[in-house]
Structures are given as structure tokens and as C-alpha cells.
Structure 1
């Protein structure tokens, strides 16, 4: 499930109460949650005795403190309409944070990470003791980093500017920012980082600019999220770009010298195609490449829930 709102802080077994709570989140994800619900309801009709588990993209980030998830707008919009920062890619951030602790011999409950999930959609997260403390995405997946076709952060008044100057509708502006922007919009070529790196090698100016903007915005986000950490045990790169682009990793880290980060070029070049490992220069804070495995995390949550105790009567969630 894309969106669990504030109702779901973890994965849960689906029952009538969970379905009702999921339906209540539809206004927060009108393009995704109705389709997810259709799949759930169809499977329930066909296999009424088969347990089903809902895993939410937003659940991991429900541990964010209020000062991290609230927008600076009047209280009533939060209280009455749920307007706040929710974050996404939670299953991936949770998985790689736990995996990093395993690989480095640290306890999940005593470790602090900055994670960068970089694919067609991109987000960063500050993880403290196994819990999300802040993340780059917000009410929707448009907030934050530059992505494949999404703009990421823009001046909120861009909407009114385009409406006033060009006469555009909200639908046209939303399509621009979600489907025609990001790497695609900047380069004029592609939303695929592999294609842009090839074009950059041929001297394509716009592809080069798209990569530079992508890496700078990523570094700026990681630096900002460091405010949520009491210490830094390492930075983790994951997702299709994070796992396979030494160029993006090197350029992003180059902007983060004030955090003491430095890359080992040989190790960085080796970590592609599913190869994980440390890519930091000796004596500098950890930089890790860790392939994400959201499917495995979903399976683990499902297995844990099958033998879990009955849920609390006031919650749609079973503890996982």
C-alpha cells in the first residue's frame, strides 16, 4: 500500500477494521490507494480464508517527531484534513538501515544512518536506532529530491505563477511537476540515469546539468537530514541509481566534505550490479552501497504477522 496515513505505524493483517482504515486514507493517495483496495477486495472475494497483509510505504516514517512532520500552515489543515509530511519508500529505508547494522556489527537499536533511495523515485531518510526521524518526501512523493520525472522541491508559488502567466490549470501543473520534470525535464532526453551518463560522456550539456542538479540536491538533502542525527554511523546508497552509479555517488559525496565524507574510487567503481560494500576512503565515515530488497522485507513482515497475537481492539494493526 502506498499510503497508510496516521492510522498505520507498521504492517498489519487485513480485516474489516483495517479495510475501513485503508479506505479512510484514499483522499491522501487518490491515484494509488483505490487501486490497491481493488486488489485486496478481489483477492478476499476469491480467497476468503487466505490471510492477507498490508505493508505501507508510509508506516516506517510514523516515528518522525511532530516538528519534522508538520508544515508551517494553520493547525486546522492538519487536524481536519491530515495535511502533514508522511514520507514514502519506508520499506526500503527500513530494510537497508537494518542491513547496514548487520554488515557493520552494530545494533539496529544503537545505530544512526543517512539513507538515500535513488531510482525513478528518490528519497532520503535519517534513521536513529532503527526508527525514521526525518525524510525528504512529504504529503506526496513529489516533495524533496529531483527524481526521474518529478521536480522535487520547487517554490510553492510556482503553481500560482504558471496559472497567472500561462493560464495553466492545476491538472496541467501537476502533470508538469510529476511527469515532465526532474532528470527528464532538465536533460530534455531521458529520465534514465544510464542514458544521461552516456550523453554526458559525449558532452551533452543538458544531460550534464541534469546530473549535477541531481547530485547537488541529493547532497543538500543528506546534509539537512543530518540535523536529525545524534551521530553519524554511515551513509547508505540504495535503489537502481544508488546501487549502480559510481558517478552519482562520487559527485554527491564530493559536496559533503563538511561532514568528513570521502570516497574510495576503486571501491566505488566495484559496487555495481548488486555488489554491496563500503566505498569510503580509509579513516573517513562509512559510505555503504546496499542493494535494497523491499520484497524480502514484505515477506518478513508477513511471516511475522502470521503467528502474531490478536491486534489491540483500538488499532487496525498487529505488531510485527
Structure 2
């Protein structure tokens, strides 16, 4: 990739560079050259060349605190890049090392309910690919529908159901650029089996396997939470947890040829009948994320350390 200049600066700085930031109409789809410009901007502001990308979900932003040799770049410093609008999403890339592996972490993702089209909210995944990322770890906060799940459980994703993507809000809709991937992609085994096996082994080593599950995530559009009738429908489809993100990013990662590993943190138990009283709110999601953050950090950190060495 053509570089725009050599990095000059220190850790925890967003160093100003002479990068041309020409804003485009929000309705115009990104081109490959747009993604190259975004990637070049990031490469010019810090020295790391990551091979692993991590997307932090609601309440899980503190994962970034484990990075060493850390460099932070706010989204607004990147040409034509979207910005986060959700509480608890910091809106920045964090580059650094995690247990010896060079990573880039998104502290703040984008959602359909913010008004972004699907192709735009996966821009970070495209940029990560051009940065050299080969493995993507996605995390999210989700509501538990499986009656065997408890608040604070961690679910390793074995599959997903994308309600918006099935209805047409797929990030691959539109012109296809073969430099990223083929027009039609196979979505079977999208969550890497070897990485899932490694994760369950790490959970045993950390003695947290009693609350680390494997299951299916379903995405809805949001931002309204689901009605009891909707939850019963989603559960009947085989889903264990429900959330409002992740699936578009995973589709884009698959399109780019990345390995994918997904985690859902159960932040609330869904109310699926009319007799139970209770209310789901975003503050509860954030607080549960903080409560279980230490275990999530250790689990993901150990998995990242062993990536490429798994059986």
C-alpha cells in the first residue's frame, strides 16, 4: 500500500499529519480508494502494523486498557470516517500490543439504528483488512433468551441470525470490489472452529468455563428493545441471545477473508412473558459490562496470545 508519510510522534498522541480529508456525500458508497485513504491515515499516525482486530461492544470498552505501547486515534481524525453516537462508545481506534500480539481495537462501533446504511457501518472492517488484519474478534452486549443463561455469562458465538441482513440491509449490497472478495460468499462455519475450540480451552485454564457457553446470536435493528412476543419468535428460531450489532461486521470480515471469533456478554435476561415485571435499559448493559470486564479481558487476552498456535 502506498504510504502518505512516515510516523512521527509519541504514545497516546493523535499526531496531526498533512492528510487530505475531502468529505463525500453520505449517500455515496465508499470506493476502494476511500478505504486506502483511511488506512493510510491510520498508518501515518502510529507505528504498529496489526494482524488482529478487536471490536468492543457496549460496556466492554475497558478492553483497551490492557494494550501496551498504546496509540489512540479518534474517528474524527480519519477522512470520511463515520462517528459513534451511542453512550459508552468512545469513538476511537486504539493500536498497541496485547500479550505480544500487535492489535487494533475499535472502542466504539456503528449501528443501523444510528441511521448508518449497512455498507457504511462496516467501513472499519474494510480498513482493518488494508491495515493487515487477518483475524477479527467481535464482542457485543446481548440479552439472554436461553433459560439456562444468566447475567454475566459469556457466550462464544457458533452462528448467527441476522434479521436486518435477511431483510436486505446487508453490507455487501451494491457494487462488489473483487479486491476485497467475491460477489457471493459462503457463510457456513463463519465463526472459526479452531478459534472456538481454543477459547473453550482457555476458559478451562482460567477456571471460568462454568459461565462460558457456546450458542447462537440473533441481530435485530433496534433501538427499541424487543417485545415478549418478538423474543419468543426469535427464541423459536434457535437463538440464545439477542443484540443490535455484530452481524454486518462479521459478514464484511468473511468477505475480506478474515478469520472470525465472536463473544456475547449476557447483560440482561430477556422478559419473554407478560407476568414477569422488569425493564431493560442501556445503563444496565453498561454496568454489567464493567462488572464482568476483568474476566472478558483475561479470556480475550489469552486467546489472542495463542492465535496462530492453536491446533
**Same structural fold, with TM-score higher than 0.5 when normalized by the shorter chain:** no
TM-score, normalization: structure 2? 0.28
* TM-score, normalised relative to structure 1: 0.27
- Higher Rg: 1
Higher relative contact order (CA 8 A, sep 6+): 2
More strand per residue: 2
